[in-house]
Structure 1
Amino acid sequence: MCRPGWARARTAAQHLEDLARLRRVRDRIDREYAQPLDVEALARGAFMSAGHLSRQFRSAYGESPYSYLMTRRIERAMALLRRGDLSVTDVCFAVGCSSLGTFSTRFTELVGMPPSSYQRQAADATAGIPSCVAKQVTRPVRHRESQPTAAAAAELQPA
């Protein structure tokens, strides 16, 4: 059964409007990652239901809004830990996490080691590398199959 032309146009227009809303949600997460954000609040701001936002966001970006938020938080935490002047607890709260346990668990899932271990190793591993390059090289990757093997990670360590 074919849709009338106006129905197809409405569907395409709605799709573009949803993509613009999703981009605004992603931009808000990028800007306000340290604020208390939850999917319901993000959905209200995008005039969507939480379920619809989650489905659409995952379809567009490959991960849920919560996963994207936690990746941004962990990415910022990695930069703060590399600086070495804050404790793990201070970093946890600085990036918007309210639970040290949840922060440590997520950090370990994404980075492959606890934040305290990362802090000890990161200072040596990124010494002499510009921070903009270190950020790109050390960016957390959620998908385990795309993470480097232990042998490849060892090659990155200075001798």
Structure 2
Amino acid sequence: MSPREHRSVQTLASSPAAASAGQLQDPALLRRLLRAKDRMDAASHEAWPIERLAAVSGVSQAHFARSFKRAFGIPPHRYLLTRRIEQAIGLLRDTGLSVTEIAFATGWESLGTFGRIFRDITGRSPGAMRMEAQASMPQLDRVPACVLKAAQRPDLTIAVLEKRRRLAEGTFTPPTKEVS
């Protein structure tokens, strides 16, 4: 095990998500979950059904889904959505690719689905996000890319459909983020 993996496994085993579940997970299982998470990070544009992720981890589908959520705090599908939206935001900000090209490059099979989910998660359409990013580009040139990516990370603590339902009922208040 590399030093990086060892630190990651130690951090996950002592994370609040693991502690709140009332049990610490097996370090071997955490390594396997990290392997699946790393594969999703490296190829988030690919399809990652639970069957494929469970096969990468060497555990059953149900066990993988439960363990991933316990270890990382969100289900695998939401994690993948977060990565795809982060990549799309970066491409909208940094490239001249069309929204359609960005949608397909980040793993979406439908432009309509990409636009709807992008708006549900970020609160803005891809085009509006691009205009906003280009307007603030001179100010962002001095900010390290890793800090910018973390600041623009989408909030997926609840499912997109649940968020949409709560907005329709008027019971959802978006999380407040400090913007400077």
What range is the shorter-chain TM-score in?
0.7 to 0.9
Q: Cα distance 1:114–1:140, how it changes in 2: closer, same or farther (>3 A)?
A: same
Q: Which has the larger radius of gyration?
A: 1
- Aligned residue in 1 for 2:46: 35
Rate the CA distance shift 1:124–1:30 in 2: closer, same or farther, 3 A.
Answer: same
Q: Match for residue 76 of structure 2?
A: 65
Work out whether 1:112 is the aligned partner of 2:123: yes
Matched residue type, 1:35: E
- The reply on whether 1:138 has 2:166 as its aligned counterpart is no
Output one character per residue of 1:122-148: Cα deviation in whole Å (capped at 9) or x when no partner: 111243323513323222222377733
Q: TM-score, normalised by structure 1?
A: 0.78
Cα distance in 1 for residues equivalent to 2:50 and 2:61: 6
Aligned to 2:56: 45
Q: What is the SS of the residue equivalent to 1:42?
A: helix
What is residue 102 of structure 2 aligned with on the other side? 91
Distance in 2, matches of 1:71 and 1:84, equals: 20
Q: CA deviation at 1:93?
A: 0.5
The answer for the alignment partner of 2:7 in structure 1 is none
Alignment: residue pair count: 141
> Unaligned 5+ residue runs, structure 2?
1-22, 159-172
Query: Take 1:89 and 1:139, find their aligned partners in 2: how far apart are those partners?
Result: 21
CA RMSD of aligned residues (A): 2.4
1:42 is aligned with what amino acid?
A: L
Partner of 2:87: 76
Look up the equivalent residue of 2:175 and give its one-letter code: Q
**Per-residue deviation, 1:35:** 1.7
- The 2-side partners of 1:147 and 1:126 are apart by 25
CA contact (8 A) 2:54 2:60 kept: yes
Unaligned runs of 5+ in 1: 1-11
Say if 1:31 and 1:84 are closer, same or farther in 2 by CA, change over 3 A: closer
Secondary structure at the aligned position of 2:63 is classed as helix
For 1:131 and 1:105, locate their aligned partners in 2 and report how far apart those are by CA, in whole Å: 29
